[in-house]
Chains A and B, each alone.
Chain A
């Protein structure tokens, strides 16, 4: 019984070794070839560098940049990508785009529909870096394809945002894969002002994550024209929306009336107190000083810390802190005041 079993097993074992060894040989040969390829590409890059730089700056010498062999094309692709990252100026970007649209298009299109995810993603990055609007139809085809993954969708939508594509808005509302807040932020971040203005009135219909992301981005992009709008959102029933609106106001230094500030400084929600303190500090709302002083005894650590930090920015703020540090009954408040007096006004943020 055992005799044939072991024979089979032996055969299996030997074939395993043969498979692994041949795979190994293949990989070693491939590696040697790849290393050689890389060496050549790097050599081409060095020899093309000056010409590319001249072309980008002065617009001359396009004819010298040959894309005939795949290696040369790869070298140029990499050079252009590196330059697109280094040089921000508009006319250079325009030349990069023009060159990419004429010379790289077929290659990038092929990559865009490659069966491997990594290659498709690279193609999307190239399209973004080179601003190749000419490929919008290909992008659309990829979006419709069944193999589209979540990360590709986000990258695609981001390109739509950069290109001001009108389809973006409906796709944000009904994406193929549920979008995270991070994805929404990314999209709002790259959307231009007109698009933003055009869609904001439909805020109420958005999914909550999209609403949160919008509020954050208003703060981050410092779009003070939406300040009044944020102020209306402070009446919202959603805690999260109120907290985020306060946070955005703090980030952009929106002047909220001190009545409203005081209302939030005494909110039962500690996050609202915290964010209201941040607003006070940012806009130096001296009227709120007594409230800030009492918040130095707040039960929440970060509220106490933030209150001390905000007081430092006020008129005579350090005077107030010194008083608390020496004579307050609450030991927590004393410690906090001491720490911030010592730290002084650090980077405010």
Chain B
């Protein structure tokens, strides 16, 4: 009798996992097809011609580039150097030293001959106190803000206050941009007369690429299996996921590492909030504002401009990153929980938010359940073994097959990797995803959820801040 209940229980959970996975696979397939059509359309399009016109100052809208820095003494010089040589007609670079305890500021002052200026700051967003504003004697469009420590969101808000131009972009201190990245990411904004209020590019992994003085010289693939798997994951997330979502204005993430925003809209939305995933939270808030004001503004993703960033190479840091991402996701969903299934917010409320809640957030939990059911079924024997096999095959489709498809999609359309051997390795590695990498990330993301549940107090504090916006 008691055993029977267990059998039934495992069956029910098993079928639930099964149906969930089938539904998700269907959704991913839809996204994959949309991306495929979109990407094939612009296949072989000239790299440069479509953007040449935008170099003319009279068309391009000026841009403020914000670089928040906290104890980045090692990398900050390279980042700023690479930004000084980007291709864009009119821009300023604002480095925000967020109360670093190392010699970040001293290094900047020395390398770029900064002098303190008397700058009136328009406090459109509330931030921690700004101690001083500096300007470079060598590069007149380089500014540095020195402020009291207040976190990344606070630093970005301070940067927005000081910036002079109508659009801004935030760049992480440790990333490298392609020289034409800004032209490409600004194109939809300029083309649409400002109907597009935020636009994000692709993030790819720099490990394995040759970088010289802040510029990618040759794209390559790292030898490290963990990095290769992350490369595949990024391809999948960007090429497959975001194009499909962007096409229907469902995009909820413009990566914090590389995205351009309309300053006016961000200020009206209240700026960045103090959350773990401040980039996603801001985008959700912008969507919310668009819907509440009933305006026809858009947030888009552009696959081509690429920002190269360094990926963690050790399990320890990767684990931390994943669990942090998952916490950030939960926070954004929690702050904006009222949008979920709310018809007032149109497709964002009915499709995007549920997608992120059920597939992105609960997905790992269901997958973990699937692994458990698989193991238990093996013990039960008989027909359960077949069921275990069925679940296993499904999870391979869910994990490996889509990743393989993403690798092929990349090679069929974007083609950033020059070597044949890179593609072969990517494909072979993606085959193995379900066997080791996928379970690992699933486990880490579930850990992220547990972390949140454990630290209830800290969590409560954070929600209060977000809601008050």
Contacts and interface: CB of A to CB of B under 8 A. Distances in A.
A24 B49 contact: no
A346 B141 CA distance: 12
Interface string A1-35: 01101100110010011001001100110011001
A316 interface: no
B427 A24 contact: yes
Contact of B386 (A2, A185, A189, A220): A2
Given A23-B408, A180-B191, A6 B390 contact: yes
A35 B45 CA distance: 18
A203 interface: no
Contacts of A180: 191-193
Contacts of B106: none
A6 B386 contact: yes
Contacts of A116: 40-41, 43-44
B69 to A, nearest CB: 24
Contact of B42 (A117, A217, A342): A117
Of B120, B396, B423, most buried by chain A (CB within 10 Å of CB) is B120
B117 interface: yes
Contacts of B86: none
Nearest to A338: B118
Contact of B423 (A27, A121, A181): A27
B42 to A, nearest CB: 5
Of B40, B140, B420, most buried by chain A (CB within 10 Å of CB) is B420
Contact of A342 (B49, B117, B401): B117
B116 to A, nearest CB: 10
B85 interface: no
A294 interface: no
A335 B45 CA distance: 51
A286 B243 CA distance: 55
Contacts of A27: 408, 411-412, 423
Contacts of A121: 45-46, 49-50
Interface string B108-150: 0000000001111010000000000000000010000000000
Nearest to A111: B44
A149 to B, nearest CB: 9
A122 B389 CA distance: 50
B118 A339 contact: yes
Contacts of A125: 46, 49-50
B122 A301 contact: yes
Nearest to B410: A27
B44 A181 contact: no
Contacts of A28: 420, 423-424
Of B40, B53, B383, B424, most buried by chain A (CB within 10 Å of CB) is B53
Nearest to B45: A118
A2 B120 contact: no
A343 interface: yes
Given A28-B420, A343-B117, A9 B390 contact: yes
A182 interface: yes
B423 A122 contact: no
B268 to A, nearest CB: 16
A10 B393 contact: yes
A261 interface: no
B408 A122 contact: no
A252 interface: no
B13 interface: no
A220 B59 CA distance: 10
Interface in A93-119: 116-119
A122 B49 CA distance: 8
B368 interface: no
A148 interface: no
B408 A118 contact: no
B397 A16 contact: yes
A219 to B, nearest CB: 9
Contact of A13 (B40, B56, B393, B418): B393
B53 A186 contact: yes
Contacts of A122: 44-46, 49
A285 interface: no
A301 B122 CA distance: 7
A172 to B, nearest CB: 16
Of A5, A305, A336, A339, most buried by chain B (CB within 10 Å of CB) is A339
B58 interface: yes
Nearest to B427: A24
A115 to B, nearest CB: 10
A122 to B, nearest CB: 5
A220 B53 CA distance: 15
Contacts of B94: none
A117 B39 CA distance: 11
B300 to A, nearest CB: 15
A185 B59 contact: yes
A35 B420 contact: yes
Contact of B383 (A2, A17, A182): A2
A209 B195 CA distance: 14
A4 to B, nearest CB: 11
A13 B405 contact: no
A3 B448 CA distance: 38
Contacts of B191: 180, 182
Contacts of A23: 408
Given A10-B393, A23-B408, A182 B120 contact: no
Contacts of B50: 121, 125
A27 B408 CA distance: 8
B190 interface: yes
Contact of A3 (B41, B386, B420): B386
A31 B420 contact: yes
Interface in B199-240: none
A24 to B, nearest CB: 5
B404 interface: yes
A347 B122 CA distance: 21
A9 B190 CA distance: 49
Contacts of A217: 58
B272 interface: no
B345 interface: no
A342 B133 CA distance: 13
Interface of B: 40-46, 49-50, 53, 56, 58-59, 117-120, 122, 140, 190-193, 383, 386-387, 389-390, 393, 396-397, 401, 404-405, 408, 411-412, 415, 418, 420, 423-424, 427
9 contacts: A13-B397, A16-B397, A23-B408, A118-B45, A122-B44, A180-B192, A181-B193, A182-B192, A209-B193
Interface of A: 2-3, 5-6, 9-10, 13, 16-17, 20, 23-24, 27-28, 31-32, 35, 116-119, 121-122, 125, 129, 180-182, 185-186, 189, 209, 216-217, 220, 301, 305, 335-336, 338-339, 342-343, 346-347
Complex A-B, nearest 8 residue pairs according to Cβ-Cβ distance, in ascending order: A118-B45, A125-B49, A220-B58, A180-B193, A118-B42, A117-B41, A335-B120, A342-B118
